[in-house]
Structure 1
Amino acid sequence: MVLILLTGNMGNAEVVIDALSICLNINSWEMMISLGFFAAASVRVANELGRGSSKAAKFSIVNIVLTSFFIGFILFVLCLVLRGHIAYMVTENINVVAAVEDLSNLLAWSILLNSVQLVLSGVAVGAGWQSIVAYVNLACYYLVGVPVGAVLGYVFHFQVKVSNSIPCFPA
């Protein structure tokens, strides 16, 4: 929501907010898969470490990270192949479709990296490091991500990565 709020003050806000909302929703759909792996990893690692079996915990970590990465990689490739076509699921506005196509590379990388990051967070939670995971997530998002995004968007005028070369077609 902070990203959407910051985006509302940028040029061509309606198209940019629509495109960003579509990308964030697609990313959220993928994160539902990763959240399942997060829960599975945290429970499995906690059970194996509680049982005193570090080898089984390590084996579980490798398997669940590779499985989540493989699923993330498939979605990564689908996102790159479908590019702007995924926006047609929710809109017919060609300006928004062009903006989603422009954002699709970032969306694909975000999907791939989130598929692994959430599982590794689940491993850390299963190992008993919940507070560290919470602090790292809060610091990365609110102390690094949002300020860097605001500086790139407002100071360097990157907007929401939507290039100025995208034609503005009548809706």
Structure 2
Amino acid sequence: MGRAWVDGWVAGEIHFILLINRQGKVRLTKWYSSYSQKERSKVIRELSNDILRRAPKLCNFVEWRGFKVVYRRYASLYFCMCIDADDNELEVLELIHHFLVILDEYFGNVCELDLIFNFHKAYYILDEVLLAGNLQETSRRVVRRLIYAQDSLVESAKEEANSIRNVIGLGHR
């Protein structure tokens, strides 16, 4: 496992990320370690059951299969990250909060529906924060600038596609 010192954080490797709702439905997953599809389903089922049954007053760390799963509930969503047993769970709680704050800034008080209907943007934001399971960017301002630049590129591509359609006569049928 590689560690990198980034702006005061010693970031360890994250094996996977799960965002699940209170009913156990998966809203976002990202796997940084190799798991077969069957194993992924089993992991999601196990962790969903373990985390959803825990009392709210218990700590946000679960020892699981020789790893630690750090989770935090925001509204109806549980943000879960699996790390090595010797990694610092408080840093991971900060990382979860960092990711949530960026989602909040982008979506304006992010909710489960934002992740359902804009999952591609949620994945893009996650990829700007984490790279291969390691912290990539700690600056919310930098991530926000990159996200808006990506949105601008997408809008430009849509406008160009529409203008090309209009030129060749495919528009407005």
Q: TM above 0.5, one fold?
A: no
TM-score scaled by structure 1? Answer: 0.28
More strand by share: 2
TM-score scaled by structure 2? Answer: 0.28
Structure ranking higher on relative contact order (CA contacts 8 Å, 6+ apart): 1
